[in-house]
Amino acid sequence: MTQPKPPETSPKTFLGVEQARSAILAAIAPIVGWERVAVRSALGRVLAQDVIAPCNVPAHDNSAMDGYAVRAADLAASGDTTLTVVGTAFAGRPFSGIVGAGQAIRIMTGAAIPEGADTIVVQEVTRVENKQVIIPPGQRALQNLRRAGEDLALGGTALAAGRRCGPAELGLIASLGIAEVTVYRRLRVAFFSTGDEIASIGRPLAPGEVYDSNRYTLFGALQHLGCELIDMGVIADDPAALEAAFDDASRAADVIITSGGVSVGEADFIREMMRRMGEVAFWKLAIKPGRPMAFGRIGKAVLFGLPGNPVAVLVTFYQFVQDALLKLMGVTPLPPAELFEASCTEPIRKQAGRCEYLRGRLSREDGQVHVSPAAAQGSGILRSMSEADCFIVLPEECTGVQTGERVLVQPFHGLV
């Protein structure tokens, strides 16, 4: 894995969103290591080798429609054509004879094209009288055929290395008769929350405590990506405890993700611990929410120090961490962020200088897409994420939005 290198900025500089993304992705490389797994176990995994087609798909020329297999040479240029039906071809039970002059074969979708036939006439346009089929004019030679290898040709690349396997990919692999594929090993991610005020769920809160929601938020996001998780619980604001946790995590994991402790408070030790034990590439971003986010490494592990506020954790995870994890997992190319414009239903106040991610709700009226900001935008109000379905993305140069103005939105669908 390449070493993270700090961007050329002064200690007081707040790094822009795109600059931070580029710095993160430039500093990491896919993990090393792969394994062979059964097709069903490949769901969500990333292919480490190309899947090569060992056969043609489909394996033979076949019919794309229910109808009649005929010889194009027998079809009249004008007027009806009458042919004698001499057999039937089913998918999996082909007609074994040869289609001769003046003959037709009743054929079902997926059935192999009988020898001698080269055209399929759909049944809806024909009529049958006794054992003869009457075909109207206007048919085209070679119509309604699916050729052998039309989907995949023998020896061709069915799926390239770097593809993450979804349901369609599993079906494609199975259509080739392949029982196992080579995938990258799972990315090992250690994560923990920090803070003396953080309490584990399942017990009453002491004065001044809050329940640990961030660890469960991260668990859900990481589980969704298919990572191998190392949940290290809650670590107190104690340098010795944090050092031990970082040491254990850096030995066991490819990535360490923390929440809390990256600001400038007296008990915020994460950034200083990163500097002492490893490297800090940057830790201040021109973003809201989520300004204090550290990126660097400890030992062999890439480290993301996320903010402590619950919404800021999700914003920074989806804007910076998720793509980095996908690259580490071997996904190539990375999926592009889905952004589109919508009409804002109310004004938004904003100062220039930082990119803001507001939670919003999408709606459609009169064929137009609209977005409404969530009522509560505080970085500690996690309910606003649960009730929203998109981010409203306001770039650094934006100085506010008027009612009806077009804004960029990033839908949660496919992101979370």
* Residues 192, 322 within the same domain: yes
Length of the chain: 416
pLDDT at 405 > cutoff 70 = yes
Q: What is the pLDDT of residues 312-358, one digit of tens each?
A: 999 999 999 999 999 999 999 999 889 999 999 999 999 999 999 99
pTM confidence score:
0.84
Instruction: Please state, for a pLDDT cut of 70, what percent of the chain lies above it.
Output: 94
The mean-pLDDT minimum among 5-14, 34-43, 218-227 falls in: 5-14
CATH number of the domain encompassing residue 176 = 3.90.105.10
Instruction: Work out the burial of residue 5: count CB atoms within 10 Å of its CB; fewer than 13 is exposed, 13-18 middle, 19 or more buried.
Output: exposed
Res 416: pLDDT: 60
pLDDT at 143 > cutoff 60 = yes
* Residues 346, 230 within the same domain: no
Residue 270 pLDDT grade (very low, low, confident, very high; cuts 50, 70, 90): confident
Longest C-alpha distance within the chain, in Å?
A: 94
> What does the pLDDT average to over 221-231?
96
Confirm whether 10 is domain-assigned: no
Q: What is the pLDDT of residues 52-83, one digit of tens each?
A: 999 998 999 999 999 999 999 999 989 999 99
Confirm whether 83 is domain-assigned: yes
CATH number of the domain encompassing residue 280 = 3.40.980.10
> What does the pLDDT average to over 119-127?
97
Handedness of CA 328, 331, 335, 336 (dihedral sign): positive
* Residues 281, 362 within the same domain: no
For 323, the enclosing helix (H) or strand (E) is: helix 322-329
Res 3: pLDDT: 47
* Residues 111, 225 within the same domain: no
Confirm whether 8 is domain-assigned: no
Residue 301 pLDDT grade (very low, low, confident, very high; cuts 50, 70, 90): very high
Q: Are 68 and 118 in contact (CB under 8 A)?
A: no
Backbone angles phi, psi at 290, to 5 degrees: 115, 20
Query: Please, which residues have CB within 8 angstroms of residue 9's CB and are 6 or more apart in sequence?
Result: 15, 282
Closest CA to 72 of 112, 103, 118, 138: 118
Q: How many folded domains does the chain comprise?
A: 4
Residue by residue, DSSP assigns 201-262 as: TTSPPPTT-EE--HHHHHHHHHHHHTPEEEEEEEE-S-HHHHHHHHHHHHHH-SEEEEES--
Range of the domain at 124: 62-146
> What does the pLDDT average to over 149-171?
95
Closest CA to 250 of 228, 226, 278: 278
Confirm whether 11 is domain-assigned: no
Res 7: pLDDT: 46
